[in-house]
Amino acid sequence: MHIERHVRHLAAGLVLAAAAAGFAHAQEKASAYPGKSVRWVVPFPPGASNDIIARLIGQKLSEAWGQPFVVDNRPGAGGTVGAETVARAAPDGYTLIVSNPGPSINNVLMRKKPSYLITDFSPVVFIGYAPLIIVAHPGFPPRNARELVEYAKINPGRVNWGSSGTGSSLHIGLALFQSATGVSVVHVPYKGAAPALSDVVGGQINLMYTTSVTGEAQIKAGRVKVLAVADEKRQPVLPDVPTLAELGIKGAEAKVWFGMSAPAKTPRPIIDKLNREVNKALGTADVRQRLDALGLVVGGGTPEQFNAFIKNESERLAKLIKIGAVQVE
């Protein structure tokens, strides 16, 4: 009996010691991190916003730690290809991903058999977001989102609303708008926001969601008009355009956001270290200025905050899917 107890104690002690050693090891690993080059996967082709963000912040991290942060473009299937790679990578902090709505939420929830799950990633830090704005052809009668709702109710199924593709953030934004207002419009998907915007300018379709940066040139030239900002507050570049909430449309806020995530089970100390350094980079004047030029509201904050944000966004989409506002493949 005694021996058994001894053994039990010994085992418990060993487990504790191992855990402590493991903890110390993790700590030690974190202080040594990064000991080699870090691969930061961008699941989109070079030149996309994700790519520019990764190169901008990656450069800061490289300078801070003296280890290169290599941007690895893995485009394909709306970001799924790159996200798959990272979901299966070793959780050692040497493979990271630029997370954003498509690969991190939409592509997972909108597939019957997704090849990875939202929980396959550990959120590291929220980098920033671009609020969506509704732009319309100048000849389209409604002058703001409230009039748009009235117009769409009188003319059911006559309004053509473009998006950058089925399942894209712009499409989800439209679905949120429809479920919040109960209007029904025809969704016209394009392969990207640019051709859709070109058709709004040309009057081939009536309106679409876009970001202020994508629409900037057309807004300034008066080739499109802005009906609303789908954010909690007005946009500094569009001070006269009311928010959806101001126009009486609640719960339809929509944004394109960017962050950094690691594979699930990446040691917490490494995540914290990355989080601190990215927050520091987001505070520098030149990064702020570049992100501002991309139309981004700069983020930051703790991994927990980012995790809660992703959870909230995915619950909103799950609800849309449940009520049939967007279809699952």
Partner 1 sequence: MEELALLFPNLTLGFSTAVSPANLFYCFAGVFVGTLIGVLPGIGPLAAIAMLLPLTFNLPPVGALIMLAGIYYGAQYAGSTTAILVKLPRESASVVTCMDGYEMAKKGRAGPALAVAALGSFFAGTVGVVLIALFGPPIAELALKFGSAEYFSLVVMGLIASAVLAHGSLIKALGMILLGLLFGIVGTDVNSGMSRFAFGVTGLTDGISFVVIAMGLFGFAEIVSNLERGGAKRDLLFGRIKHLWPTLDDFRRSWKPAIRGTAIGAFFGTLPGAGPTIAAFSSYALEKKVAKDPSRFGSGAIEGVAGPESANNAAAQCAFIPTLTLGIAGSGTMALMLGALTIQGIAPGLQVMTQRPELFWGLIASMWIGNGMLVLLNLPLIGLWVKLLTVPYRMLFPAIMMFMAIGVYSVNNQSLDIYITLMFGVLGYVFVKLKCEPAPLILAFVLGPLMEENLRRALLISRGDPTVFMTRPISAGFLVATLALLLIMVVPAVRKKRQEALEDQPHDTTA
Q: Does 55 bind partner 1 (CB under 8 A)?
A: yes
For the stretch 182-217, what's the b/e string if a residue is b when 16 or more beta carbons lie within 10 angstroms of its beta carbon?
ebebebeebeebeebbebbbeeebbbbbbbbebbee
Q: Is residue 68 near partner 1 by the rule CB under 8 A?
A: no
- Helix 303-322 vs helix 268-283: angle between axes, to the nearest 10 degrees? 90
User: Which of 79/267 has CB closer to partner 1?
Assistant: 79
Q: Are 127 and 288 in contact (CB under 8 A)?
A: no
- Kindly tell me which residue out of 40, 43, 51, 130 binds partner 1, with binding defined by CB under 8 A: 51
Distance from C-alpha of 110 to C-alpha of 144, rounded to nearest angstrom: 31
**Among 64, 68, 75, 268, which residue interacts with partner 1 (rule: CB under 8 A)?**
75
Structure tokens at 274: 């990355």
| Among 70-78, 94-102, 122-130, 138-146, the segment contacting partner 1 (CB under 8 A) | 70-78
Q: Which of 297, 252, 262, 52 is nearest to 244 (CA)?
A: 252
Q: Which of 38, 52, 130, 175 binds partner 1 (CB under 8 A)?
A: 52
CA distances from 88 to 56, 95, 141 (A): 25, 10, 50
Residue type at 322?
Answer: K
- The answer for residues whose C-beta is within 8 angstroms of residue 255's C-beta and 6 or more apart is 129, 130, 131, 132, 169, 230, 231
Segment near partner 1 (CB under 8 A), from 117-125, 144-152, 194-202, 225-233? Answer: 194-202
Please identify, using beta-carbon distances, which residue of 67 and 198 lies nearer to partner 1.
198
Q: What are phi and psi of 205, to 5 degrees?
A: -130, 165
- Cβ neighbours for 271, distance < 8 A, ≥ 6 positions apart: 93, 122, 124, 262, 303
Compare residues 204 and 305 and give the one whose CB is closer to partner 1: 204
CA–CA gap between residue 163 and residue 186 (Å, rounded) = 11
Q: Which residue in the set 34, 57, 72, 299 belongs to the binding site for partner 1 (CB under 8 A)?
A: 72
> Which of 22, 35, 202, 251 contacts partner 1 by CB under 8 A?
202
User: Nearer to partner 1 by C-beta: 53 or 148?
Assistant: 53
Does position 120 interact with partner 1 (CB under 8 A)? The reply is no
The enclosing H or E element of 261 equals strand 255-263
Identified binder of partner 1 from the candidate list 290, 297, 308, 314, rule CB under 8 A: 290
Site for partner 1 in 219-248 (CB under 8 A): 220-221, 223
Q: Which lies closer to partner 1 via its Cβ, residue 33 or residue 40?
A: 40
Q: In the complex, what is the shortest distance from the CB of residue 171 to partner 1, in angstroms, rounded to a whole number? A: 8
Half-sphere exposure of 297 (CA within 13 A, CB side): 16
- Of the candidate spans 16-24, 40-48, 89-97, 243-251, the one that interacts with partner 1 by CB under 8 A turns out to be 40-48
For the CB of residue 310, give the shortest distance to partner 1 in the complex, in Å. 21
Q: Which of the stretches 128-136, 213-221, 270-278, 314-322 binds partner 1 when contact is defined by CB under 8 A? A: 213-221
| Helical packing angle, 285-293 and 49-65, nearest 10° | 170
Query: Phi and psi dihedrals of 38, rounded to 5?
Result: -110, 135
Stretch that binds partner 1, among 26-34, 143-151, 181-189, 274-282 (CB under 8 A): 181-189
Q: Site for partner 1 (CB under 8 A): which residue of 103, 167, 263, 299?
A: 167
Q: Which residues bind partner 1 (CB under 8 A)?
A: 45-47, 51-52, 55-56, 59, 72-77, 80-81, 84, 110, 115, 157, 160, 165-167, 186, 188-191, 194-195, 197-199, 201-202, 204-205, 213, 216-218, 220-221, 223, 290, 293-294, 327, 329
